[in-house]
């Protein structure tokens, strides 16, 4: 069965919702669009979108309603406006980002109100939507993903189901985003240090990539240590690493750049060392992180 057999509504036409609507339209999915700011919906009419007069009209014309609003608060406000008789008989797919707990609350809230709701987390930037690289993680109601896969895979061929916990997609989303933003910020910090001392960021880039190339194997070792609860420092240990982190901090001082990131890394290592774990590997830092922060 091809995707054009189905009718979809896309509610929320920010950069991401508009990209999803364009992917649907490009694949011949019968698509109705609605957006709070109507001009963004009308911009899609030239591509063949049906612009709904109001929200009930958008929902009423669709087998599957994909909501791509800013957050879950806006999503719940939208769902509240869907008349009861339009809630049954169609699927609602929520793609706004959230915390795991909020995703679970939204699932419970929606189920109590008669919605068949599937939640997903979009893991790629807007330009990748509709390409083979597009990845959306889903969790919760597997039957809904199975049923609507032909449509949802138009936007994201890599539509992956993670399990029945409706918070799982959000957990993976936030955990993956943390890896991404922490790495990007580390690069920017290094770029600030390098440019303060005469290098360009582009000159430094290949050397940053040398560090990056070490990370896949490093992550695998960290994951094994965290799961085993053992932090063998035979090859590298926290006392040695603390000394290196002091150098990063001091270089940042010399460069006159923001000290928060190197101070954070140094503090994490120091806490583990002060607790008597100087001979352990960097993976021991997970125990410092698990202990929670006394200041934030
Ligand atoms: N953009 C990306 O690359 C990307 C990547 C991964 C995940 N995401 C996720 O996708 C979701 C949408 O992101 P986005 O980039 O498209 O833009 P966005 O700016 O977060 O979302 C804008 C959409 O939400 C609507 N909206 C916001 N508050 C509303 C409210 N109170 N009532 C009704 N509508 C409301 C906006 O309507 P108006 O047009 O009227 O303001 C617009 O349609 C977010 O949860 C984001 O985290 C985005």
Assign 137 a pLDDT band (cuts: 50, 70, 90).
Answer: very high
Tokens read off for 288? 């410092």
Residue 69 CA to ligand 1 centre (angstroms) = 4
Atom of ligand 1 nearest to the CA of 35: 43
Residue 83 Cβ inside 6 Å of ligand 1? The answer reads no
- Please determine whether the domains at 3-164 and 197-290 fall in the same fold group of CATH: no
Separation of alpha carbons 93 and 95, rounded Å: 6
Residue 67 Cβ inside 6 Å of ligand 1? The answer reads no
Core vs surface per residue 146-164: b (16+ CB within 10 A) or e: ebbebbbbbbbeebebbee
Does CATH number 1.10.1040.10 belong to domain 197-290? yes
Question: Residue 295 pLDDT > 60, yes or no?
Answer: no
Which class would CATH give 3-164?
Answer: alpha beta
The H or E element spanning position 36 is none
Assign 5 a pLDDT band (cuts: 50, 70, 90).
Answer: confident
Among 2, 296, 267, smallest CA distance to 149 is for 2
Residue 97 CA to ligand 1 centre (angstroms) = 9
Atom of ligand 1 nearest to the CA of 16: 16
Residue 98 CA to ligand 1 centre (angstroms) = 12
In the block, tokens 């053992």 appear at: 230
User: Distance of CA 268 to CAs 69, 75, 190, 294, Å?
Assistant: 37, 38, 19, 12
pLDDT digit string, tens, across residues 208-252: 999 999 999 999 999 999 999 999 999 999 999 999 999 999 999
Question: Residue 164 pLDDT > 80, yes or no?
Answer: yes
Work out the percent of the chain whose per-residue pLDDT is above 90.
96
Atom of ligand 1 nearest to the CA of 18: 16
Residue 146 CA to ligand 1 centre (angstroms) = 26
- Parse the chain into domains and list their residue ranges: 3-164, 197-290
Answer whether 270's CB lies under 8 Å from 201's CB: no
Question: Residue 16 pLDDT > 70, yes or no?
Answer: yes
Residue 14 Cβ inside 6 Å of ligand 1? The answer reads yes
Separation of alpha carbons 288 and 109, rounded Å: 36
Q: What is the pLDDT of residue 239?
A: 96
Classify the phi-psi angles of 94: left when phi > 0, otherwise alpha if psi is within -120 to 50, otherwise beta.
beta
Residue 186 CA to ligand 1 centre (angstroms) = 27
Residue 100 Cβ inside 6 Å of ligand 1? The answer reads no
Question: Residue 2 pLDDT > 60, yes or no?
Answer: no
Tell me the mean pLDDT in the region 175-190: 97
Residue 35 Cβ inside 6 Å of ligand 1? The answer reads yes
Averaged confidence pLDDT in the chain: 96
pLDDT digit string, tens, across residues 26-82: 999 999 999 999 999 999 999 999 999 999 999 998 999 999 999 999 999 999 999
Residue 13 CA to ligand 1 centre (angstroms) = 7
Q: What is the pLDDT of residue 3?
A: 53
């Amino acid at each position: 069965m091809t995707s054009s057999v189905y009718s979809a509504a896309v509610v929320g036409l920010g950069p991401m919702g508009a990209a999803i609507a364009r992917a649907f339209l490009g694949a011949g999915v019968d698509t109705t669009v609605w957006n709070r700011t109507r001009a963004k919906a009308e911009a899609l009419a030239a591509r063949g979108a049906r612009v709904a007069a109001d929200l009930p009209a958008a929902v009423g014309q669709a087998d599957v309603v994909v909501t791509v609003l800013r957050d879950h608060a806006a999503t719940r406000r939208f769902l509240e406006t869907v008349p009861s008789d339009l809630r049954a008989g169609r699927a609602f797919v929520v793609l706004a980002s959230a915390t795991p707990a909020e995703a679970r609350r939204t699932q419970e809230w929606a189920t109590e109100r008669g919605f068949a709701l599937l939640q997903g987390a979009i893991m790629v930037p807007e330009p990748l939507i509709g390409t083979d690289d597009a990845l959306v993680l889903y969790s919760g109601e597997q039957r809904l993903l199975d049923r609507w896969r032909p449509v949802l895979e138009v936007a994201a061929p890599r539509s992956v189901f993670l399990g029945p916990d409706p918070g799982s997609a959000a957990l993976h989303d936030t955990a993956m985003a943390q890896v991404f933003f922490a790495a990007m910020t580390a690069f920017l910090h290094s770029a600030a240090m390098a440019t303060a001392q005469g290098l360009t960021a582009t000159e430094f880039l290949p050397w940053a990539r040398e560090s990056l190339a070490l990370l896949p194997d490093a992550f695998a070792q960290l994951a094994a240590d965290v799961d085993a609860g053992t932090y063998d420092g035979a090859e590298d240990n926290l006392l040695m690493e603390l000394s290196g982190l002091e150098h990063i901090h001091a270089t940042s001082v010399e460069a006159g750049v923001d000290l928060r990131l190197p101070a954070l890394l140094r503090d994490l290592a120091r806490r583990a060392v002060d607790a008597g774990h100087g001979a352990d590997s960097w993976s021991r830092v997970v125990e410092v992180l698990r202990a929670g922060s006394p200041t934030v």
